[in-house]
Structure 1
């Protein structure tokens, strides 16, 4: 099986023909399942150590589950197949990724559970990587609200260049690259705008960047 076939080969089930059913693409199903499994394992480990923080962990788990379901709705549900034929469905799919799934996932603070799901040595390696000054400086720069807004806006506008837009509709690999850039920059955008503990938050500037 070629690399491109992982993105272009899919099975559609449902009434009304192949374009009306659910799209089961191997790479997407595997990624969604892996993320869910990683979160669940880590969340269980954190739950056992949380004590009084369990209500917070429960709310975060609900937010993550809602974001994950939104991802399934955008990438696997009949909306995805319909989006290849209808422009409106295509735009709804994008909005689910950027304006629903991304903020829900960020609001759930998924980093801690996912890190706790990893083996001890890998957690230690990630902790060490977090102390590398260059990486820290790059992250601080990219996660500034203005920079995150620009990167997210660039991702949106670049993919609406006619040649790239048509390529995303006709080629599975390009289509999922488009989704990955929308969702990835969306995560960065919402991380920069949503309030976090231990960080000053300016609601006024966040509203401006959101607008």
Structure 2
């Protein structure tokens, strides 16, 4: 009887079985994604030459992004997330600030399209030329919508009820992580993706800053709240300290990464403006309704 009781005690419970099934369901799409990306890149390189269209560094970025997703879901970050709110926030930042940007930098759109079956490829081609999708695919429109979408996703899943539901139910937890990854991938694509799909630099700067501010506000709320805003079961040993650390983990890395990328985009834009104006070309002074006048002539006229 005691042996039977011990065997029953060691049998996996429903939650353990559900987590195992979800792990399998998560691994299969990742494997298909990697296989499709690899096949598409191979086809591109076979047609145009190795390293063309999708440079090797983009392929490496995509691979590291996939590894980051797997590490966040099954590595030490996952174990840490099970024991504290700060650990869970670390997991979220891996999706938003590491995996998402790396996957976006991989430029997966064209390789995955080439790897798709021909009927699906034709369907996507017809869908992309519809007026609504063409407007949505404009870099400026897409960047602003993606930035707003990430802010909404971030705030929604950190409200007490959705966050608690994600902690209590594995299926909801998986949906939460998929939302973070999809939102980050979509947001960073017009910033770090291939040049033909990038948003104009001023739009990218606006989207970056506009996304950073809501995230900073959420981090500040969690850090400065006088009491825990979630149930005690989601925290570690010291709920308030755990919440404050989680807020700082959102606040500081998000601001640092976004500020660095914003400054890089802005400086690259200035360099591009300087390159677009050939050396030695005189600046022009214009007045409304008049033709352009060289600045040197305008200066000479002022002297007279």
Which TM class, normalised by the smaller chain length? Answer: 0.7 to 0.9
Question: Please, which moves more after superposition, 129-138 or 58-67?
Answer: 129-138
- Does the C-alpha gap of structure 1 residues 197 and 7 become closer, same or farther in structure 2, counting only changes over 3 Å? farther
Change (3 A) 1:185 1:165: same
Indicate whether 1:10 and 2:20 are aligned.
yes
From the superposition, tell whether residues 63 and 6 of structure 1 become closer, same or farther in structure 2 (CA, over 3 Å).
farther
Q: What is the TM-score with the length of structure 1 in the denominator?
A: 0.81
User: What CA distance in whole angstroms lies between the structure 2 residues aligned with 1:99 and 1:91?
Assistant: 12
Are the aligned partners of 1:103 and 1:190 in contact in 2 as well (CA < 8 Å)?
A: yes
Q: Deviations over 1:130-187 (max 9, x none)?
A: 1111233344499543332221111111111111111101101110111111111112
- TM-score scaled to structure 2, two decimals? 0.58
Unaligned runs of 5+ in 2: 1-13, 213-304
Once residues 44 and 24 of structure 2 are traced to their aligned partners in structure 1, the CA distance between those partners, rounded to angstroms, is 30
Aligned to 1:28: 26
Q: Which has the larger radius of gyration?
A: 2
Match of 1:103 in 2: 101
Matched residues in 2 for 1:37 and 1:119: separation?
13
Q: Does 1:201 align with 2:201?
A: yes
Check the 8 A contact 1:168/1:175 in 2, yes or no: yes
Residues 62-211 of structure 1 correspond to what in structure 2 (within 5 A)?
Answer: 62-140=60-138, 143-194=141-192, 196-198=194-196, 199=198, 200-202=200-202, 204-209=205-210, 211=212
**Structure showing greater relative contact order (alpha-carbon pairs closer than 8 Å, 6 or more residues apart):** 1
Distance 2:92 2:177 in 1: 7
Distance 1:26 1:129 in 2: 31
Match of 1:41 in 2: 39
2: CA distance between counterparts of 1:73 and 1:52? 29
- 1:64: how far off? 0.6
In structure 1, stretches of 5+ residues that fail to align are 12-23
Report deviation, 1:55: 8.4
CA 1:157/1:55 → structure 2, altered by over 3 Å: closer, same or farther? closer
Q: Give 1:84 deviation, angstroms.
A: 1.9
Once residues 87 and 127 of structure 1 are traced to their aligned partners in structure 2, the CA distance between those partners, rounded to angstroms, is 44
Structure 1 pair 178–51 and aligned structure 2 pair: CA distance change class (3 A): same
Taking structure 1 as reference, are residues 9 and 144 closer, same or farther at Cα in structure 2, changes over 3 Å only? Answer: closer
Does the 8 A contact of 2:148 with 2:211 survive in 1? no
